[in-house]
Structure 1
């Protein structure tokens, strides 16, 4: 595994752990100001910018505080010199949802770019498979 892939893996693992803990400052860390995210929840046309990204998290943290999980299951990273992508599967749901559908995974794809020697998340796409 290259050093860039290791750095990205550490960045995303840290991000997922912060989401699980409800730590907004760490969730936002290392995200580009011009971030674009397509989320499971509305708005379905996506959000643009770090301020809009920030606003998506408090409702999720409230839902998660009721006992829902957000656990990284798999993570694959491909890194070039200054751009990279990663895709992950996460167990995301309430205990009841996960018991009813144990194989259900949240799918997240990340687009990253390197600026001044640091990897930044510039794009996230979150989705669940449709039945």
Structure 2
């Protein structure tokens, strides 16, 4: 499998884990020194696996209450040992998307190859609200 396809598969697996509120699946395929800039504070980000892990339970509990985490676009650019990807998702309960059909969560990933496997080293999450 080529790098681009491997990374697409990894990200789709991560999206599926978030959608199912599966913490261990969310944590899989990340580096120990992961940096995540998320929508809620702290705006300086979460650094390292312990902080990354601690950031997820509250969101996943909300997610399990009926929200969706659904990939709508994914682009990957991969080199030999580093790659980046950007994606758009629907993230929220169905009523959000009835009110704002174009609302999307933006994701940017930085990845690196470690021990012949791709791992996510950086995530950046932000919301885009469609213009009226």
Rounded Cα–Cα distance in structure 2 between residues aligned with 1:21 and 1:67: 10
1:39 equivalent to 2:38? Answer yes
The gaps in structure 2 that reach 5 residues or longer are: none
Count of matched residue pairs = 130
Structure-2 separation of matches of 1:123 and 1:7: 17
Alignment TM-score, normalising by the size of structure 2:
0.95
What is aligned with 2:69? 70
SS of aligned partner of 2:125: strand
CA distance in 2, matches of 1:95, 1:3: 35
Q: CA RMSD in A?
A: 1.2
Superposition pairs of residues 20-99 of structure 1, within 5 angstroms: 20-99=19-98
Moved over 6 A (4+): none
Uncovered stretches (5+) of structure 1, i.e. residues with no partner? none
**Shift in Å at residue 52 of structure 1?**
0.6
C-alpha displacement at 1:97, in angstroms?
1.1
User: Normalized against structure 1, the TM-score is what?
Assistant: 0.95
CA shift for structure 1 position 129: 2.1
Structure 1 position 115, deviation (Å): 1.1
